[in-house]
Amino acid sequence: MNGYVTMIIFVVAYLVLAPFVGGLLAGIDRKITARMQGRVGPPILQPFYDVGKLFEKEPITVNKVQDFYVLCFFIFILATGAFFFAGLNLLLVIFTLTIASVFLIVGAFSSNSPYAQVGAERELLQMMAYEPMVLLTAIGFYIFSGSFDVSAIVNLSGMPFFYLIGIFVGFVFILTIKFRKSPFDLSMSHHAHQELVKGLVTEYSGKTLGLIEIAHWYENIFLLGFVFLFFCNGTWWGYLIGVVVCLAAYFLEVLIDNSFARMKWQVAINSAWIVALCLGIGNLFILKFLLMV
Amino acid sequence: MAYVTKSPWVIHYDGSSCNGCDIEVLACLTPMYDVERFGIINTGNPKHADVFLVTGSVNEQNKEVVKQIYEQMPEPKAVVAIGICACNGGIFKECYNVQGGVDTVIPVDCYVPGCAARPEAIIDGVVAGLGVLAAKREAMAKGGSIPAPEAPAEEGKEEA
Ligand code: SF4
């Protein structure tokens, strides 16, 4: 009974707080980016102003189904995070995340705009690039803890990080793709790259675009939750290290974003798969070996 | 509160400009002027834009393009004509293919004269455009539709 209460508290806290924390992180990101480029940069609350503005705009859609797909994307992203923070099965979480991305891609395809379609194709390639590493991360947690359940992993006595260092580095690598940062911001990006206009979200405007932005904040917090999971060992200092490493990982992604130009999709797939093979599978073998002796 | 004044995203279209004004528009984005301080982002996508910056005069080739970009922008939106060419045709006014300023095809809210318009003047023009955005947003919030702008004269703007 007690378990259910904490579960509900965590889910509600995630659903309420994640957009605020995510938006704040996005604002800090833009400020740091500006400072790295020698600019003053927008106010920290700028992402909230942007979304507020988008919700004030006149609704224009290419076709009716598009809005439906975006709504599904939004709901499934929320479900992904909710499942994760409820402590449910990691595989369920990953597959829900995949379904969410599929809705966004189908929505972009349905618009028939060449920019959105190229963006959608690139998003598919990106999914192919990061998916193996995400699955290996879940498998790594399973081999280490004997369970796919997040609630079981959180309360382990040992810190998963020490056994899963390779997988951790690999996961941070694919975070660049998931956060839509250069060099892997192929399908859409936060900056004004003119090559593909806005890629995936070219045809979305107003409220729909605002929803995608909020979903992105939810998704970022959920992904940082994954990073946090590596440092859980059932004690408060483990949680503290987890939060600090989450912030450090976020800063690292901002730094990478500002130091690279956009690369071709071939580089994204090749590098992500090589990382998954070497660091991910290599780590799994070593872990299995360590647990046997 | 109108958030639109805090995050005006712009789209920049080059009519038949000599490129002087375009370079000044892009100069606004550099660290020297850094318009992102005001939440201004250059989107390059009419569907995401709130403010339409046009440089250069309108000619027979591009008047449809200008119209189409304007129509694709969701309300509330504002148009800023940058440079004397965009205001009334400028030195290209007498050319056989030039129709005149931007206001011969779409309603213009702010005029930024100058050849080339300085970045400070352009930022000033966009800030003046924010007032138009806020007024339009207020009209929308009250439930009424936005007052339709007067149809621009077909033959070109009369001399003031
Ligand atoms: S106003 Fe001057 S600088 Fe600007 S486009 Fe016209 S001729 Fe060029």
For residue range B83-107, what is the model confidence (pLDDT) as tens digits? 999 888 888 888 888 888 888 889 9
Q: How far is the CA of B92 from the centre of ligand 1 (A)?
A: 9
Q: What is the pLDDT of residue B40?
A: 87
Interface touch A50/B50, C-beta < 8 Å: no
Handedness of CA A107, A110, A111, A113 (dihedral sign): positive
What Å distances lie between residue A226 and A13, A92, A138, A167, B53, CA to CA?
A: 17, 14, 10, 12, 43
For residue range A1-30, list pLDDT tens digits in order: 577 888 888 889 888 999 999 999 999 999
What does the angle CA A113 – CA A118 – CA A120 come to, to the nearest 5 degrees?
Answer: 90
SS3 A89: strand
Domain count, chain A: 1
Contact A59, A50 (CB under 8 A): no
Chain A residue numbers touching B76 (CB-CB < 8 A): 56-58
Task: Decide if pLDDT at A191 tops 70.
Answer: no
So what's the ipTM on this one?
A: 0.82
What does the angle CA B111 – CA B113 – CA B118 come to, to the nearest 5 degrees?
Answer: 115
Question: What CA dihedral angle connects A61, A64, A66 and A70, to 10 degrees?
Answer: 100
Q: Which residue has the higher pLDDT, A50 or B44?
A: A50
Q: What is the pLDDT of residue A102?
A: 92
Q: How far is the CA of B54 from the centre of ligand 1 (A)?
A: 11
B95 lines ligand 1 (CB under 6 A): no
| Range list of H helices, chain A | 2-36, 46-56, 64-85, 90-110, 114-145, 150-154, 160-163, 165-178, 206-229, 236-259, 265-275, 282-292
Please state, for a pLDDT cut of 90, what percent of chain B lies above it. 15
SS3 B150: coil
Distance CA B83, CA B101 (A): 10
Task: Give Cα B106 distance to the centre of its chain.
Answer: 10
Contact A284, A139 (CB under 8 A): yes
- Average pLDDT of chain A is 87
Contact A175, A253 (CB under 8 A): yes
For residue range B117-144, list pLDDT tens digits in order: 899 999 999 888 888 888 888 888 777 6
B36: nearest CB among A39, A59, A205: A39
Q: Pairing between strand B98-100 and B58-59?
A: antiparallel
B18 lines ligand 1 (CB under 6 A): yes
Domain count, chain B: 1
For residue range A132-174, list pLDDT tens digits in order: 999 999 998 898 888 888 888 888 777 888 888 899 999 999 9
Instruction: State the nearest Cα–Cα gap between A202 and chain B, in angstroms.
Output: 7
Q: Which residue has the higher pLDDT, A291 or A223?
A: A223
Task: Decide if pLDDT at B145 tops 80.
Answer: no
Q: How far is the CA of B58 from the centre of ligand 1 (A)?
A: 13
Distance CA B136, CA B125 (A): 17
B21 lines ligand 1 (CB under 6 A): yes
Q: Which residue has the higher pLDDT, A241 or A261?
A: A241
Domain containing residue A66: 2-292
Q: What is the pLDDT of residue A145?
A: 84
Distance CA A175, CA A181 (A): 9
Q: What is the pLDDT of residue A202?
A: 81
Interface touch B74/A52, C-beta < 8 Å: no
Q: Pairing between strand B41-42 and B58-59?
A: unpaired
- Interface check for A194 against chain B (CB to CB < 8 A): the answer is yes
Q: How far is the CA of B72 from the centre of ligand 1 (A)?
A: 26
Q: What is the pLDDT of residue A22?
A: 92
Contact A203, A65 (CB under 8 A): no
Does the residue B109 lie in any domain? yes
B73 lines ligand 1 (CB under 6 A): no
Q: What token pair was written down for A288?
A: 């299995």
Domain containing residue B115: 3-141
- Interface check for A108 against chain B (CB to CB < 8 A): the answer is no
Q: Pairing between strand B9-14 and B110-112?
A: unpaired
Interface touch B3/A198, C-beta < 8 Å: no
Chain B residue numbers touching A61 (CB-CB < 8 A): none
Please state, for a pLDDT cut of 90, what percent of chain A lies above it. 31
Does the residue B158 lie in any domain? no
Peptide bond between residue B76 and the one before it cis (omega within 30 degrees of 0): yes
Does the residue B81 lie in any domain? yes
Q: Whose CA is nearest to atom 7 of ligand 1?
A: B18
Chain B residue numbers touching A195 (CB-CB < 8 A): none
CATH number at residue B134: 3.40.50.12280
B110 lines ligand 1 (CB under 6 A): no
Does the residue B132 lie in any domain? yes
Nearest Cα to B53, choosing from B1, B105, B123? B123
A50: nearest CB among B7, B75, B137: B7
Contact B56, B15 (CB under 8 A): yes
Residue B7 per-residue DSSP state: -
Q: Model pTM?
A: 0.88
Task: Decide if pLDDT at B159 tops 70.
Answer: no
